[in-house]
Amino acid sequence: MGQETLQQAHQHRISGEYDPAIELYRQLIEADAADAEAMWGLGLSLMNTGEFDEALETLEKAVLAEPDNPQYLVDAGKHYTMLGMYDEAKPYFEKVIELAPSSEHASEAQKQLSFY
């Protein structure tokens, strides 16, 4: 279980096949509880199936595992925003801008913050 399984899980998620993606992400996390990328993918997949609480919890774990990963930060912030939890979202976007001010992720974070 490793990179190939992770790529299969991502491909299922990107194709909108969330159930097989969720199953593969869970297997990866079971094999390596610190697999931040699998947690991130699982969180995105769960959000798309309406499992909002578990999705946010899983995205939080990905951010905790890799606190300087701008992709995870932006996605966590966007998910909080989608749920109307703006106070919770704001610190994620601010951290992305602080970490990588000229990045594509910072541009997205700035755009998100402009709605507040």
53 and 12 co-located in one domain? yes
pLDDT for 52-90, tens place per residue?
999 999 999 999 999 999 999 999 999 999 999 999 999
10 and 34 co-located in one domain? yes
13 and 56 co-located in one domain? yes
């992400």: which residue's tokens? 25
Average pLDDT of the residues in 34-56 = 96
85 and 61 co-located in one domain? no
The pLDDT value recorded for residue 2 is: 85
CATH number of the domain that residue 10 is part of: 1.25.40.10
Q: pTM value?
A: 0.91
56 and 73 co-located in one domain? no
Q: Domain of 40?
A: 1-66
60 and 18 co-located in one domain? yes
Number of domain units in the chain: 2
CA separation, residue 17 to residues 4, 39, 49, 62 (Å): 17, 17, 10, 21
